[in-house]
Amino acid sequence: MSAASGNFGSAAHTKRELAAELASVLAFSAIRNSDKVGLILYTDEVELYISPRKGRRHVLRVVREILFMSLAAAAPTR
């Protein structure tokens, strides 16, 4: 998602906040089942890769990266 489209949304939630909320629910569910969680953020190229790991601190890092990753430097795809 580009920086412009990631900040678009309703008055209550932006797309980025909704994506972070959904990712956190799935990630915490995964670690409850002893699964690993990783992250790839991309535009037309990989912007950020976090290798899969277990643990609450790792999930919090993943969610933090989704919320605060700046994709403004990425070129628009259209």
List pLDDT tens digits, range 21-53: 999 999 999 999 999 999 999 889 999 999 999
- Asked if the model's pLDDT at residue 3 lies above 80, the reply is no
Q: Could you tell me if 47 and 41 are in contact, meaning their C-beta atoms sit under 8 angstroms apart?
A: yes
What is the rounded CA–CA span in Å between residue 23 and residue 32?
A: 14
7 in helix, strand or coil?
A: coil
Cα 36 to Cα 23, 27, 30, 53, 68: the distances in Å are 13, 8, 7, 5, 22
Predicted TM-score (pTM) of the model is 0.69
Report the mean per-residue pLDDT for the chain: 81
* Residue labelled with tokens 């609450």: 56
What is the distance between the terminal CA atoms of the chain, rounded to a whole angstrom?
A: 12
Q: What is the pLDDT of residue 10?
A: 56
Helices in the chain by DSSP H: which ranges?
3-6, 15-32, 56-68
